[in-house]
């Protein structure tokens, strides 16, 4: 096969199926930032494909004129490794090839070395793990960046550079300082689409780039080192190519694996200075950890400062300590010597019992009502699923399965579907709606805003009309005549799906309603909620929420409130680059041109209607090259919706709008958002605004501007938090930071805000789970056996897991393990990720096994002495080892070593299981 590249005018035109995208740089010359991984990996991998004579690419003229590594130089830095090969000084090699060293490899261009384990993800996007013996590679495995666990063996591994140069750093737009290679050196057939447009776009982009470089000296440097003149490429054109009328939106992955982004490590971890809750003693401040060595035996402790004293908690009991989540301003530290904490816990428990009683009553009422049992049509549903243009995540597939199972069951569905903004909840709702409509029943979808209603309507209509199903919009933008027609047709059963705001509930009658979909129910008023509560008993209800649901809450409500949680972001979702600064027209121009040049769109948020027109006028002077539209809530509904529709369809480059876009508008091509006067917003609003971008596989940018150099401390902290809390899944952390717990309570009908503050969010829901289990007669054994006198060191050494956050995370997972299987899996995972287990980690796992088994057989306390083990239990046992029983203290003194005692516990546990 010969190498071929199609040259198109702009990045927008690069979306052609079966052609590999070779992007231009997404940074400006001399900018203190590197190209996104998408750009770097695609540009490098395209050269690798070209050397294999397998390149079938598509690119702009600008992308092809950049200097690159010549083939002979590039070949020197391509490595193939197989088991048995040696790898000398891996850190030096990976750093030389441009990889960034991290602790856990989550994204492309990263590598990690943890003892004898090396992980990396290169431009071929295969997460690769080497296990070494000395310098020899013993085994090569593929790993999952999400779980960090190995998922299979590999026969060989490809290692390519992670940047377009190797060795000494050079700005990525100035590769000519190192290499003078061009795409013409790679033996490629070049085809062009429209020569005139191609040249016009190239000249426009070059002019914009050079205009941003103020210094004449730097301008000369850029001209000399960035790339060749475009006519050199045009001299080598081998023919023309006509683009299809409407190129499919899916871009070929050229057999590379798209990586999923990974959620932040855990909502439960805390840092020095954080307020925490100790389940037995109350609210304290976490002041770090301390290692204590005595007679060569090492232990590690958490230091908790209470109001009157300090408590040292061994790390193996990290399960007793949780991060405090509540209103921190009003919280006071507890005193260890006073019992106010226990009183508060008792009071909260009473209130929780009342709430649970009400939830169970509603649940019982719903269970008595016979469901609609809609079975659907597997063939048609499969065809409908094919019209979804993305790859479903595992969480999404599980949620779809759960929802469809509910719809076909004998009881009516009342399911909450939770997930961060942009995680794919709408697709789950669409699959549910499709099953109900092909089953001959109607669907209504309620949303909080008309803008969002319009967007859902467009999306549903596009997908459903292919199957002869009728979707209608019902909101204030319709004329009285149109409204009347929708009402009449719905009542006569001629409409399959109706989408609109809560006004539908009062106005509309249905011929045969089968499903209500509610988007962001917590944003509806009390009256609407009451109406919905009644509807829940007789019809299927799917409620969607972007208020993130933490694991504790999900577990607490399992079996009572049907709940699906989408925790995994869509494939290829990238982290957003956040910039915070004084308002600067140059930065605004640069931000807009960067996005425009790569074929994207821009959201500009200005939250004051009275001067929004002058802001748009000023913007058109700053960036005359782009088209600008305006949208705000006080303009006529029709005008606003037309503007938003034009933006959605790519007819407008920049949408200047108020924060109406905070609620769910989804434009995957908008990957830059600019917010002026950002100091005026609350943290959750800033998070919602930031979440409007970054919904594709391109790097997204969020600019938060404030007007003057002086900013209040509160506003500064808010802006700092929006920059710090990054990564998919961070919505939960934001919600907690900004105290949006009330939102979670509302979804469930829990108005217990004060009690959540008193004892902390995590502990509140832990008690809720306990109470629910008691009501259901479910006995869930707690792992709370006390263990004293442990022998040897019981720590995860720094040289085994050097990252302190990861170490605390592992301690928590070990301390929270409830079964022997969990501990055995953790032991396997530790060996897989970090290499052979040190003795102190073996000890930690051994004592955790001992604690789990002892709890399962009702042993309250174990004290390990030399030559004997003392245990306290109210249950009579018959040890098969020499022992003495003290009736007064209810203690057994068993004469044995630890290994024999563990065997005895296993036997006792197995007997209990029988």
Taking residue 356's Cβ as centre, other Cβ atoms within 10 Å add up to 19
Q: Are residues 485 and 389 in the same domain?
A: yes
How far lies 49's CA from each of 193, 255, 516, in Å?
Answer: 22, 11, 50
Q: Note whether residue 780 is domain-resident.
A: no
All residues at 6 or more sequence positions from 496 whose CB lies less than 8 Å from its CB, including other chains: 437, 442, 443, 464, 469, 470, 471
- Helices (DSSP H) in 79-215: which residue ranges? 90-96, 195-212
Q: Are residues 65 and 202 in the same domain?
A: yes
Q: Nearest-CA neighbor of 529 among 511, 505, 552?
A: 505
Q: Nearest-CA neighbor of 82 among 156, 11, 154, 16?
A: 156
- Residue linked to tokens 């592992």: 810
Q: How far is CA 568 from the centre of its chain?
A: 6
All residues at 6 or more sequence positions from 495 whose CB lies less than 8 Å from its CB, including other chains: 442, 470, 471, 472, 486, 489
Q: Are residues 68 and 92 in the same domain?
A: no
- Residue linked to tokens 């908790």: 304
Q: Are residues 92 and 205 in the same domain?
A: no
Domain boundary among 727, 758, 778: 727
The DSSP output letter for 147 is T
Q: Note whether residue 460 is domain-resident.
A: yes
Q: Are residues 833 and 685 in the same domain?
A: no
Q: Cβ distance 792 to 297 under 8 Å?
A: yes
> At CB < 8 A and 24+ separation, what contacts does 803-811 make?
803/103, 803/104, 805/265, 805/269, 806/103, 806/104, 806/265, 808/269, 808/289, 808/315, 808/318, 809/265, 809/266, 809/269, 811/300, 811/315, 811/316, 811/318
Residues of the chain with pLDDT under 50: 247-267, 728-729, 732, 735-744, 746-747, 914
- Residue linked to tokens 């305006």: 630
Domain boundary among 566, 584, 611: 566
Instruction: Give the model's pLDDT for residue 777.
Output: 75
Query: What is the domain-level CATH number for residue 131?
Result: 3.30.2060.10
| Pairing outcome for strands 127-133 and 100-101 | unpaired
Q: Cβ distance 693 to 668 under 8 Å?
A: no
| Rounded CA separation 733/722 (Å) | 10
Q: Is 675 helix (H, G, I), strand (E, B) or coil?
A: strand
The number of distinct structural domains making up the chain is 5
The sign of the dihedral angle between the CA atoms of 270, 276, 278, 284 is positive
Q: Are residues 23 and 90 in the same domain?
A: no
Q: Are residues 143 and 223 in the same domain?
A: no
Instruction: Give the model's pLDDT for residue 557.
Output: 61
Instruction: Give the model's pLDDT for residue 436.
Output: 95
Instruction: Give the model's pLDDT for residue 363.
Output: 72
Q: Note whether residue 254 is domain-resident.
A: no
Following DSSP, what letter does each residue of 527-559 receive, concatenated?
A: HHHHHHHHHHHHSEEEEEE-SPPPHHHHHHHTT
- Residue linked to tokens 């200097």: 67
Q: Which pTM does this prediction carry?
A: 0.71
Q: Note whether residue 778 is domain-resident.
A: no
| Rounded CA separation 127/111 (Å) | 10
Partner residues linked to 869 by β-bridges = 864, 894
Following DSSP, what letter does each residue of 786-851 receive, concatenated?
A: EEE---S--S--TTTS--HHHHHHHHHHHHH--SHHHHHHHHHHHHHHH-SPPHHHHHHHHHHHHH
Q: Note whether residue 123 is domain-resident.
A: yes
Following DSSP, what letter does each residue of 427-483 receive, concatenated?
A: HHHHHHHHHHHHTT-EEEEE-S-HHHHHHHHHHHHHHHGGGT--EEEESTTS-HHHH
Q: Note whether residue 684 is domain-resident.
A: yes
Q: Note whether residue 632 is domain-resident.
A: yes
Q: Are residues 60 and 91 in the same domain?
A: no
| Rounded CA separation 670/604 (Å) | 11
How far lies 323's CA from each of 219, 283, 326, in Å?
Answer: 52, 10, 10
HEC string for 172-192: CCCHHHCCCECHHHHCEEEEE
Report residue 597 as tokens.
């040049």
Domain that holds residue 213: 3-73+170-240
Domain boundary among 685, 712, 727: 727
Query: What is the domain-level CATH number for residue 394?
Result: 3.40.50.300
Q: Mind listing the pLDDT tens digit for each residue in 600-613?
A: 999 999 988 999 99
Q: Is 634 helix (H, G, I), strand (E, B) or coil?
A: coil
Q: Is 124 helix (H, G, I), strand (E, B) or coil?
A: coil
Q: Are residues 598 and 678 in the same domain?
A: yes
Query: What is the domain-level CATH number for residue 803?
Result: 3.90.1150.50
Q: Nearest-CA neighbor of 754 among 740, 766, 742, 767?
A: 742
Q: Note whether residue 303 is domain-resident.
A: no
Instruction: Give the model's pLDDT for residue 338.
Output: 81
Partner residues linked to 79 by β-bridges = 159
Taking residue 737's Cβ as centre, other Cβ atoms within 10 Å add up to 20
| Rounded CA separation 9/23 (Å) | 12
HEC string for 27-88: CCCCCCCCCCHHHHHHHHHHHHHHHCCCCEEEEEHHHHHECECCHHHHHCCCEEECCCCECC
Q: Are residues 28 and 118 in the same domain?
A: no
Q: Are residues 91 and 61 in the same domain?
A: no
| Pairing outcome for strands 188-192 and 157-159 | unpaired
Q: Are residues 90 and 176 in the same domain?
A: no
């Amino acid at each position: 096969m010969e190498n071929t590249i199609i040259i198109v005018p702009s990045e927008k035109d690069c979306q052609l199926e079966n052609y590999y995208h070779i992007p231009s740089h997404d940074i400006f010359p001399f900018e203190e930032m590197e190209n996104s991984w998408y750009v770097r990996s695609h540009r490098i991998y395209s050269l690798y494909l070209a050397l294999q004579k397998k390149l079938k690419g598509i690119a702009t003229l600008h992308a092809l004129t950049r200097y690159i590594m010549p083939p002979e130089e590039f070949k020197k830095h391509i490595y193939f490794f197989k088991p048995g090969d040696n790898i000398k000084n891996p850190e030096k090699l990976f750093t030389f090839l441009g990889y960034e060293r991290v602790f856990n490899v989550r994204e492309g261009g990263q590598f990690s070395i943890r003892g004898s384990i090396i992980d990396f993800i290169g431009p071929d996007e295969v997460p690769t793990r080497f296990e070494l013996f000395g310098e020899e590679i013993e085994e090569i495995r593929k790993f999952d960046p999400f779980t960090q666990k190995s998922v299979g063996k590999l026969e060989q591994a490809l290692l390519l550079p992670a940047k377009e140069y190797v060795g000494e750093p050079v700005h990525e737009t100035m590769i000519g300082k190192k290499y003078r290679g061009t795409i013409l050196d790679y033996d490629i057939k070049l085809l062009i689409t429209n020569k005139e447009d191609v040249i016009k776009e190239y000249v426009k982009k070059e002019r914009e780039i050079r205009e941003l470089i103020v210094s004449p000296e730097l301008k000369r440097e850029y001209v000399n080192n960035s790339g060749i003149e475009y006519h050199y490429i045009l001299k080598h054109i081998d023919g023309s190519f006509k683009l299809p009328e409407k190129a499919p939106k899916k871009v070929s992955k050229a057999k590379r694996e798209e990586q999923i982004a990974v959620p932040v490590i855990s909502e439960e971890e805390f840092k020095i200075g954080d307020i925490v809750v100790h389940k037995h003693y109350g609210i304290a401040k976490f002041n770090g950890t301390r290692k204590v060595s005595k007679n060569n035996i090492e232990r590690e402790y958490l230091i908790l400062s209470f109001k009157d004293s300090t408590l040292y908690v061994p790390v193996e009991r990290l399960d007793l300590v949780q991060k405090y989540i509540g209103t921190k301003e009003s919280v006071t530290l507890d005193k260890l010597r006073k019992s106010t904490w226990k009183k508060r816990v008792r009071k909260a428990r009473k209130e929780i019992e009342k709430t649970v009683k009400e939830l169970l009553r509603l649940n019982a009422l719903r269970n008595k009502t016979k469901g609609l049992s809609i079975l659907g049509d597997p063939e048609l549903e499969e065809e409908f699923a094919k019209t979804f243009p993305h790859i479903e995540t595992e969480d999404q597939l599980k949620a779809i399965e759960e929802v469809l199972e509910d719809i076909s069951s004998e009881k009516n569905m009342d399911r909450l579907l939770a997930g961060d903004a942009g995680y794919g909840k709408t697709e789950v709702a669409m699959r549910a709606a499709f099953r109900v409509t092909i089953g001959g029943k109607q669907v209504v979808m309620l949303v909080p805003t008309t803008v969002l209603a319009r967007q859902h309507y467009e999306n549903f209509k596009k997908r459903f009309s292919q199957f002869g199903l009728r979707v209608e919009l019902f909101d204030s933008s319709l004329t009285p005549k149109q409204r009347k027609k929708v009402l009449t047709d719905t009542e006569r059963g001629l409409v399959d799906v109706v989408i609109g705001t809560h006004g539908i509930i009062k106005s509309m009658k249905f011929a045969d309603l089968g499903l209500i979909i509610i988007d962001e129910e917590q944003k509806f008023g009390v009256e609407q909620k009451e109406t919905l509560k009644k509807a829940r008993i007789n019809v299927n209800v799917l409620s969607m929420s972007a208020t993130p649901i933490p694991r504790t809450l999900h577990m607490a409500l399992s079996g009572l409130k049907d709940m699906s949680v989408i925790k995994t972001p869509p494939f290829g979702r990238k982290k957003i680059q956040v910039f915070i600064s004084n308002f600067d027209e140059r930065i605004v121009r640069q931000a807009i041109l960067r996005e425009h040049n790569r074929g994207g769109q821009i959201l500009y948020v200005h939250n004051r209607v009275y001067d929004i027109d002058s802001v748009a006028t000023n913007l058109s002077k700053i960036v005359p090259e782009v088209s600008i539209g305006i949208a705000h809530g006080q303009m006529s509904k029709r005008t606003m919706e037309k503007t938003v529709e034009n933006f959605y369809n790519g007819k407008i480059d920049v949408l200047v709008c108020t924060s109406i876009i905070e609620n769910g508008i989804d434009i995957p091509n908008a990957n830059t958002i600019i917010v002026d006067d950002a100091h005026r917003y609350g943290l959750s609003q800033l998070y919602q605004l930031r979440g409007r971008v970054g919904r594709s596989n391109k790097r997204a940018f969020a600019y938060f501007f404030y007007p003057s150099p002086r900013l209040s401390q509160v506003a500064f902290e808010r802006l700092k938090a929006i920059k710090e809390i990054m990564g998919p899944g961070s919505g939960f952390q934001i919600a907690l930071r900004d105290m949006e717990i009330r939102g979670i309570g509302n979804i469930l009908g829990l108005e217990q805000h004060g009690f959540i503050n008193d004892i902390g969010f995590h502990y509140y829901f832990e008690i809720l789970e306990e109470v629910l289990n008691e009501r259901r007669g479910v006995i869930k054994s707690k792992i709370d056996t006390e263990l004293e006198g442990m022998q040897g060191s019981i720590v995860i050494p720094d040289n085994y897991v050097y990252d302190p956050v990861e170490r605390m995370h592992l301690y928590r997972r070990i301390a929270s393990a409830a079964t022997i299987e969990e501990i055995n899996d953790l032991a396997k995972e530790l060996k897989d990720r970090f290499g052979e287990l040190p003795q102190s980690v073996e000890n930690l796992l051994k004592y955790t096994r001992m604690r789990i088994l002892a709890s399962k057989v009702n042993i309250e306390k174990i004290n390990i002495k030399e030559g004997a083990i003392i245990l306290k239990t109210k249950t009579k046992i018959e040890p098969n080892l020499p022992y003495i029983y003290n009736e007064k203290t209810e203690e057994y003194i068993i004469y044995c070593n630890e290994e024999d005692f563990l065997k005895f516990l296993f036997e006792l546990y197995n007997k209990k299981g029988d």
